[in-house]
Structure 1
């Protein structure tokens, strides 16, 4: 069962099933805590044929078995192309690998209008099993402007038994007209003990440090660990950056390199104002005396983040980032 895999979702799921009053819910909260899993479990519970109203899915009825196999005729999961495989794999749902010969275009990170039009055809059909039809959209902020506008009328006036669950890491990035049509369902960070127990059960070493490094997001901490990032390597990053070691970021994809530097900059700014860091252990951080160089660096990192997905030359770009970081850290501690 999904809520056994992510135990901190049990209470939000029960709350959502009890107080949902709208045909459209917006699950919103920080990345890495289970928005997609909660949205999918809600969909399964609404489609379950034995669960009482307000109760979670039974996992055993014919509807639940269809759902688990990814063949439920009344369920649609709308994802960007770039997330199709990892998201469905994490949910245990089947997916088709793209044909390598079909084209060399990079999978889109947006949900495009063509996908929404296909969804609308599904929405207008009669429910196959007679209970409801449910659509999950994740991440909802990936809807581009045309796609979001194409969805509006159906989201406002759904036909028949149609229900929506939009899940978002950045609800501020949604059109206000989309947000206004949904009942908000906040999802907070899980309690630290539950998150650490979940990580330990999955063999994550240095779980406390990685959980702190990700801001309390256990799914992200697990992803980092599985990608080869250890707590020791993370804690060594500030000193390696201060020494100008380009290799400290060489193994990271450009977006993750920028993310790591932004977390380091954030902690150093906090230290410069006498506050503890959030993402690194105190012993790992230098003690800056001036915030101005760090604030200027922070602004440069925001600009660099706009191009993190498509640097012209990744190795030169990383070198420039490390040189910039070293200069800012050095200036702040003098």
Structure 2
């Protein structure tokens, strides 16, 4: 028997879905923290729904003709919808047929959004006869990447579902989805694994300092794995050195060095650091950066709590526009100087 691709911490969630039996909803919304394997879960669910001879427990057999098509991203009754940028970054061989509809501007940078043409392309797919199982499956992720026209177009499909069509939406942030989309999906939360299970998996992958990376990524094992292998490790270390000892000159130098990075990543690092300062000030607990306890303790004693809360709010607002700053350098300078001002170092 071939091993299924789910992670050990996903077994309970899988059994809960299997317990639905014939009461399968027309639209799932799998949601939870980033870096826990939600898309792996979603695609295995899709494959299993299309499988001609599923195992006991509902897992795809990995051996039938349907599973063969699925493995090659060529199943005629399956569509995967995601931002063009993701297809550009990691599309495996044979996936070109699943790429989003091309725009008229071939030279345009790959989109970070799911656009309306991708949703419109599903209409023809849903209105043709199925090939094998009598069921169509559409996996869409991340759902928060839907732009407004695409979200409205998808809503029409969810409001008037085609027979034997199952949507599986995946989201890291369901608070960014339209309430009307939320109301038409069966919401299914996938949570963080227990720390012991996550650490065991990371150790099996050969990750050194697994506890450090797991904490830094908020308990998400796949995110910890990626960060442990990332070229961003040196950038993160340098950024934390600045956060530990803020000041005007270092704010400007750090902004200059990091201006070519993805701004949402940098803002996210700062948000986690601020969370730990606030948490330590409130309860003496640290979630993301336990090895920097002394630095966080010192900073928490220096900062005024209302000012810290306001800056946390400001950073949340910055994160909303971080993907499209007019000037990355000015964006960083403004944010880091404001951070330094919290501690009277400018």
Query: TM-score interval w.r.t. the shorter chain?
Result: 0.7 to 0.9
Query: What residue is the counterpart of 1:9 in the other structure?
Result: 10
| Segments of 4+ moved more than 3 angstroms | 1-5, 85-89, 92-99, 101-104, 232-239, 243-252
- 2:286 pairs with 1:271: no
Shift of 1:173: 2.1
Query: What residue is the counterpart of 1:181 in the other structure?
Result: 184
Structure 1 gap segments, 5+ residues each: none
Distance in 1 of aligned mates of 2:309 and 2:221: 29
Shift of 1:188: 0.6
1:222-301 to structure 2, matched below 5 A, reads: 222-230=225-233, 237-241=239-243, 242-244=245-247, 245-246=250-251, 250-251=257-258, 252-281=261-290, 282-287=293-298, 288-289=300-301, 290-301=304-315
Provide Cα deviations, 1:46-84, integer angstroms capped at 9, x if missing partner. 101011585111111111111001111110001122222
- 2:162 pairs with 1:147: no
Secondary structure at 1:110 match in 2: coil
Distance in 1 of aligned mates of 2:107 and 2:279: 44
Q: CA distance change for structure 1 residues 199 and 54 in 2, over 3 Å: closer, same or farther? A: closer
Distance in 2 of aligned mates of 1:2 and 1:262: 39
1:173-212 to structure 2, matched below 5 A, reads: 173-212=176-215
Deviates more, 1:274-283 or 1:111-120: 274-283
Contact 2:5/2:40 (CA < 8 Å) preserved in 1? Answer: no
Shift of 1:32: 1.3
Query: What residue is the counterpart of 2:324 in the other structure?
Result: 310
Distance in 1 of aligned mates of 2:141 and 2:219: 21
Shift of 1:43: 0.5
Deviates more, 1:18-27 or 1:182-191: 18-27
Provide Cα deviations, 1:212-267, integer angstroms capped at 9, x if missing partner. 1111111222222222344x975775453224334556344321111111111111
Matching residue within 99, 122, 127 for 1:124 = 127
Give TM-score, length-normalised by structure 2. Answer: 0.83
Structure 2 gap segments, 5+ residues each: none
Secondary structure at 2:170 match in 1: strand
**Count of residue pairs the alignment pairs up:** 327
Shift of 1:316: 3.9
Provide Cα deviations, 1:78-113, integer angstroms capped at 9, x if missing partner. 112222244655xx97348999x9634232222222
- 2:168 pairs with 1:159: no
Shift of 1:198: 2.4
Q: What's the C-alpha RMSD, in Å, of the aligned pairs?
A: 2.9
Shift of 1:192: 1.4
Distance in 2 of aligned mates of 1:275 and 1:192: 20
